[in-house]
Amino acid sequence: MKKMEFTCIVCPRGCQLNAEEIDGAIQVSGNSCARGKEYGVSELLNPVRNATFNMRIEGSSKKIVAVKTTQPMPVSSILEIAKKIKRVKLKAPLKEGDIVCEDTLGIRLMVTSDISIG
């Protein structure tokens, strides 16, 4: 049986949610709206987050660049992705918005700033 207490981050109101799996059904309480219920179910079953990573660069005076996910990814995959991209070196030049990695899970990483050669 899964059970969690957490703050809803969907809007600034920050309701305190309780989510619990009872006999295969998810019960959410403490929410003030339907979006909070949806968030509570998602957090209990498959929490997702936007994530930012640093990637190494070659061909530029800058040695690293921040990349971020283009959409929320499963929290359970963040460490795996971090390990995979640790081995990757990007090549300058790069433009903000370039997609530099696309995982088999559909996780896409986007460059957050321009990187010039030299």
For ligand SF4, which residue of 19, 36, 85, 111 counts as binding (CB under 6 A)?
Answer: 36
CB of 44 to ligand SF4, least distance (A): 14
Identify which of residues 27 and 77 has a Cβ nearer to ligand SF4 in the complex: 27
Burial 61-89 (b: 16+ CB within 10 A, else e): eeeebebebeeebeeebbeebeeebeeee
Nearest residue relative to ligand SF4 (C-beta): 36
Site string for ligand SF4, 2-21 (x = CB under 6 A): ------x-xx-xxx------
Contact flag: residue 32 with ligand SF4 (CB under 6 A): yes
Q: Where are the alpha helices (DSSP H) in 54-103?
A: 78-86
**Closest residue by Cα to residue 30 from 3, 49, 7, 2:** 7
**Closest residue by Cα to residue 92 from 112, 67, 118:** 118
Residues near ligand SF4 (CB under 6 A) are 8, 10-11, 13-15, 31-33, 35-36
